[in-house]
Amino acid sequence: MLVDNAVHGDSRVQKAARSAAAAGWDVTLLGRSPDGAPHRWLLGRAEVRLLPMGGPTTGAQARRRRAVAALGGLRRPVERAYTRFWSVAMRERAWRRLEPSLWQYERAYGPVVDALDPDLIHAHDFRMLGVGARAKLRASERGRNVRLLWDAHEFLPGIKPWRDNVRWLPAHRAHEREYAPYADAVVTVSDELARLLQAEHGLAERPAVVLNAPDLPDGVTPTESLRQRCGIGPEVPLLVYSGAAAPQRGLGVLVEALPRLPGTHLAFVVNRPDGDYVQGLVARATELGVADRLHVGGYVAADEVVSLLAGADVGVIPIEHWPNHEIALITKFFEYSHARLPIVVSDVRTMAETVRRTGQGEVFRAGDVADLVRAVQTVLTDPTRHRAAYDAPGLLESWSWPAQAEVLDRVYTFLLPHGDGTITP
């Protein structure tokens, strides 16, 4: 299994590796080291290995790096012209000029994948797709038929670029177009994304859907309750946001709403509580005189998340309108649901439609402070009515990881019907 992160904090990847290993597959999960040092541990029966990035650079790669680095000092129109030229001249191969840093993943992961000699490669998201496809091609040259499963977490054309330059998105889209045809099967996170991927890449089959759903609660309790974190009692109204902290996640509107929600507290359970963005929100809360009602903390282990969140009164998803935000039920949506929290969500399409259909919460206009306040007050006035939605037969079971693990296992078995059970996801 291949992933472009340090595994910690990526609950989908952790659950996929753990459940595949529990089902009898021999799983090695390769991730990216955050500190330049190799790391190993066991995740259930799966072995996790974090690989240092970097390594020797060829002369050609060094020249590409210098050329792209030089663009950082150029004005935007020149960079756009550079991007257009290589996109037309090299088409799917244009990423080699526009984002040569993608080769770093090949240098770090490629030799390790080859040494493992897997029967199946499970590549998570768009950067690992190229690593997996090239490993598949090298294995074919050795007479080995390695199957490639692409797990598409995002619809790349609809993503907010991770870097502030005009090359990033065209480069990664070209990279994805080049290697998508080598996938023997595709899974993704929603029906809508499955439809978009099939149209974008001309896939013969609609990708199977594996939701970003949590494990069923198994009695695991966090070392510290959410209300203990916040230093408040059970009678205090408490909102929670859990997940990545970034401007497009809309956390600012929550802080702006606090002065209009007297007595209500807000907890952030985020990936970078000390990061500049979150600290900027803390500073804004101080300006508004509500810093004593904003509580910031980091992630807990994946199997503790639902129990931690259950200490709140409302789970909030204030996410802003981006194409990718419209098309799926995201991880925190399912985590809030299993915590049986009423959900207040912005009017991004899929989540808003689901909340309106199930009655499990309220919808507000993204970025609208007054409408957010209205939605929160509506839920706090009668939370029992919204929580009752979770009593619908089979709802939470269908939104659980065991149901998704069954889908993933069927895909593995389809790809390796006569295999020996060895898989390197």
pLDDT of residue 407: 97
Contact assessment for residue 343 and residue 334, using Cβ atoms and an 8 Å cutoff: no
| First-residue to last-residue Cα distance in the chain | 2
Cα 30 to Cα 103, 123, 182, 358, distances in angstroms: 16, 10, 20, 38
Nearest to 292 by CA among 307, 300, 306, 282: 282
Residues with Cβ within 8 Å of residue 322, at least 6 apart in sequence: 158, 159, 160, 248
pTM to 2 decimals? 0.86
Asked if the model's pLDDT at residue 68 lies above 90, the reply is no
Which comes out higher in pLDDT, residue 220 or 415?
Answer: 415
**Cα separation of 71 and 91, whole Å?**
20
Q: Quick one: pLDDT band at residue 421, thresholds 50, 70, 90?
A: very low
Question: What mean pLDDT is predicted for residues 292-304?
Answer: 92
Asked if the model's pLDDT at residue 408 lies above 50, the reply is yes
Residues with Cβ within 8 Å of residue 337, at least 6 apart in sequence: 343, 360, 390, 395, 396, 399
Helices (H), 318-394: 331-338, 349-358, 369-381, 383-387
Cα 214 to Cα 64, 201, 204, 333, distances in angstroms: 42, 29, 30, 10
Asked if the model's pLDDT at residue 56 lies above 70, the reply is no
Question: CB atoms < 10 A from the CB of 39, how many?
Answer: 15
Asked if the model's pLDDT at residue 82 lies above 80, the reply is yes
**Cα separation of 3 and 105, whole Å?**
10
Domains in the chain: boundaries: 11-213+404-423, 226-398
Q: What is the pLDDT of residues 250-278, one digit of tens each?
A: 999 999 999 999 999 999 999 999 999 99
Q: Residue 311 has which token pair?
A: 């200490």
Contact assessment for residue 210 and residue 189, using Cβ atoms and an 8 Å cutoff: yes
- DSSP letters, 117-148, are --SEEEEEHHHHHHHHHHHHHHHHHTT---EE
pLDDT of residue 217: 63
* CATH fold match for the domains 11-213+404-423 and 226-398: yes
Asked if the model's pLDDT at residue 139 lies above 70, the reply is yes
Contact assessment for residue 352 and residue 363, using Cβ atoms and an 8 Å cutoff: yes
**Cα separation of 348 and 319, whole Å?**
8
Q: Quick one: pLDDT band at residue 66, thresholds 50, 70, 90?
A: low
pLDDT of residue 418: 67
**Cα separation of 79 and 72, whole Å?**
8
Beta strands 46-51 and 39-43, pairing class:
antiparallel
Asked if the model's pLDDT at residue 70 lies above 50, the reply is yes
Nearest to 149 by CA among 417, 411, 420: 411
How many alpha carbons lie under 13 Å from residue 196 in its C-beta half-sphere? 18
**Cα separation of 422 and 416, whole Å?**
9
Asked if the model's pLDDT at residue 59 lies above 60, the reply is no
Question: What mean pLDDT is predicted for residues 341-360?
Answer: 97
Q: Quick one: pLDDT band at residue 57, thresholds 50, 70, 90?
A: very low
Nearest to 19 by CA among 416, 378, 400, 419: 400
pLDDT of residue 133: 98
**Cα separation of 70 and 72, whole Å?**
5
**Cα separation of 300 and 269, whole Å?**
8
Q: What is the pLDDT of residues 357-373, one digit of tens each?
A: 999 999 999 999 999 99
Q: What is the pLDDT of residues 382-403, one digit of tens each?
A: 999 999 999 999 999 999 999 9
pLDDT of residue 54: 72
What is the overall mean pLDDT for the chain? Answer: 92
The one-character DSSP state at 55 is -
Q: Which of 51-55, 73-77, 178-182 has the lowest mean pLDDT?
A: 73-77
Q: What is the pLDDT of residues 307-319, one digit of tens each?
A: 999 999 999 999 9
Asked if the model's pLDDT at residue 37 lies above 50, the reply is yes
Contact assessment for residue 364 and residue 353, using Cβ atoms and an 8 Å cutoff: no
Q: Three-state DSSP class for 268?
A: strand
Asked if the model's pLDDT at residue 424 lies above 60, the reply is no
Q: Given this structure, which CATH class describes domain 226-398?
A: alpha beta
Residues with Cβ within 8 Å of residue 238, at least 6 apart in sequence: 226, 227, 230, 232, 264, 265, 266, 267, 311, 312, 313, 314
Backbone phi, psi, residue 12, to 5°: -60, -45
Unique residue bearing structure tokens 């007297």: 262
- CATH number given to 11-213+404-423: 3.40.50.2000
